[in-house]
Amino acid sequence: MIAAPPGLEPAMELDRRNLSPQKETVRRFYKEMWDHADVRLIPEIFHPDFTFRGSLGPVLVGHSQFADYVRWVTDSLEHYTSDILDLVEEGNRVSGKLRFHGIHRKPLFGRPPTGQHVWWHGAPIFVFRDGKIEDLWVLGDIHGLIGRLDQSTNAPPEFKSEYASNQAEPRARDRRLVGSASESPPEVATAHHQSEPGFATRAIHHAYNPADHHGAVSHPVYFTSTYAFQSVADNDAAAALGGKLYAREHNPTTELLEARLANLEGAEAGLVLASGMAAVGALTLSLLSQGDELIVHRTLYSNTTAMMEQGLPRLGIKVVPVDLNNPTNLDAAVTPRSRAVYFETPVNPTGDVLDIADIAARARRAGLLVLVDGTFASPALQRPLQHGADIVLHSLTKYINGHGDLLGGALLGKGELIARIHGQGLRFMTGAALSPMASSLVLRGLKTLPLRMERHGSNALAIARMLDAHSAVAWVNYPFLPSHPRHAIARKQMSSGSGMMSFGLRGGFDAARNMLDNLKVITLAVSLGDVETLIMHPASIVRARQTVRPEAKLQSGVGDDLIRLSVGLEDEADLLHDLKQSLDRL
């Protein structure tokens, strides 16, 4: 039995034994709980179009006993956590559509099948006036909660106006307040002590609780292709959730990775696939149809270029390359058939940076989706969704995994779009599911991503400075050099530089080949983002490939002299010495 603290009348007493384990009791439980607490919930919170996912931890403002009240409600929820989890899991889509994580944020499902969900990272805040709880505020993510409520015609106008005024702003790292009053009460910052953990903490812990897995500190890996059910009714219930029957569409290890990546990127949802190119294929095939036009930056990863030049046109999709270094070029490329703009930043292989916010603003005015490949930076350094992107693509093979031992891709962004790609691009267009073992390895890599990116960046900046001063080097493209012409753009949208750069030698093509042959520590290899420093000369590879692929050519904006360098985690002095001794021999 749990009673409300004195002063909050009528006292609330709930007996756990009175809760029948039937799905229809879920909504009744919450209604009874809040009614007894004399709390007026905003009706639209229970609008049937939305599913809420989060943990409840109320904060009271303006009441002398708010600490006791918080403890009381927390204890109440703790007392009923197991019942609530059982009830919600059984009656997932009951009236009110409330999906509840539980006190310990126990994940029930990895990805809602319909995309109609809200990632509720905050907590309800009850504001007292004249002894009554008059207003409910929500402490949380403005682009998550408000972004979904804005799509409802019944959403409160205060939510809509707040959402509209913040569309162009970065996601709120300081967990901004949204509610029905005109100003946020100053007491909230001190009343709420459970702010969202930092990036590194979430990269290690998000969406996983050892208590839910027999105390195992490391996540389990689910090696299974299919799932058993105790009854036909159970089978029906899983089928009604979408792909909860078969491992192509549902695997708990993979869904943990998707949830963690989405959280780190600041996305509503995520989808992982078998490779970066599988992500490109699933993305474009799901969102584009015959007769559509896709605007792309003139320079892309070589195999993405092949998809744009050879793959999509065969399906009747027109690809329009433009130079997005000048975002105004996008305006002239838009036609009534344009559906999206796709670009990388930093760009592969040059390392150029494109202005995400400027391009996204122009795309939004034209009604285009904004699709950004952020592989060269990773979410540790850059989060394009903050600057207006709709979907971010990553090759997990690179920095996010970071160890050069698997292939993988990810798509992160708006829930509705990710659900569409999951239901089409993954389910039947590509079938390119990431294996649970690969998902586990990426989860391992994520845990050290922030530390690795710091070392990649510090090593790269030292190398860029050395190359910039060497007499054999004609040019260096590393945007975090203060002298770089796009340095201001890089600093605006990236927290620091990654390990990626390109440079050219005064001796051109032949000097590049000689320089690579003289290296002792640095590894000659394609790919990037590994702990090892990797170097490649695209022009040499293209010329060699032309013997079997006559159509092979360098991407637009890539010259014969360009050398791509992926700086690893070795000692800075060793890398500098290796590059310098090789350059000195030219």
User: What whole-number distance in Å separates Cα of residue 251 and Cα of residue 238?
Assistant: 13
Read off the tokens for 468.
Answer: 């910039």
290, 316 contact by CB (below 8 A)? yes
**Cβ-based neighbours of 134, under 8 Å, separated by 6 or more:** 40, 127, 128
DSSP 438-506: HHHHHHHHHTTHHHHHHHHHHHHHHHHHHHHH-TTEEEEE-TTSTTSTTHHHHHHH-SS--SEEEEEET
| Residue 246 β-bridge partners | 226
How far from chain centre, in Å, is Cα 512?
A: 37
**126 — phi, psi (to 5°)?**
-100, 125
179, 136 contact by CB (below 8 A)? yes
Read off the tokens for 320.
Answer: 């329009």
Collapsed DSSP state (helix, strand, coil) of residue 565: strand
Read off the tokens for 472.
Answer: 């054999």
The helix-helix angle for 66-90 and 25-36 (nearest 10°) equals 170
Closest-CA residue to 398 (of 373, 421, 372, 435):
373
Q: What are the Cα distances from residue 123, in Å, to 86, 140, 175, 273, 282?
A: 22, 7, 10, 33, 35
Catalytic residue chosen out of the listed positions 80, 301, 342, 399: 301
Catalytic residue chosen out of the listed positions 105, 248, 444, 543: 248
Any catalytic annotation for residue 301? yes
Determine what percent of the chain falls in helix, strand and coil, rounding each to the nearest 5: 40, 15, 45
Read off the tokens for 38.
Answer: 């004399």
Q: What is the largest CA-CA distance in the chain?
A: 86
In 518-571, which ranges are continuous DSSP H helix?
A: 538-545
Any catalytic annotation for residue 342? no
Any catalytic annotation for residue 398? yes
CA angle 7, 9, 15 (to 5 degrees): 115
| Residue 502 β-bridge partners | 477, 564
Catalytic residue chosen out of the listed positions 97, 398, 427, 564: 398
Read off the tokens for 419.
Answer: 């659900």
Q: What are the Cα distances from residue 464, in Å, to 251, 277, 459, 468?
A: 42, 29, 9, 6
Collapsed DSSP state (helix, strand, coil) of residue 572: helix
* Eight-state DSSP code of residue 400: T
248, 433 contact by CB (below 8 A)? yes
User: What whole-number distance in Å separates Cα of residue 43 and Cα of residue 457?
Assistant: 49
Tell me how crowded residue 286 is: count the other CB atoms within 10 A of its CB: 22
Catalytic residue chosen out of the listed positions 141, 292, 373, 561: 373
Any catalytic annotation for residue 30? no
Using left for φ > 0, alpha for ψ between -120 and 50, and beta otherwise, residue 96 falls in left
Residues involved in catalysis = 248, 301, 373, 398
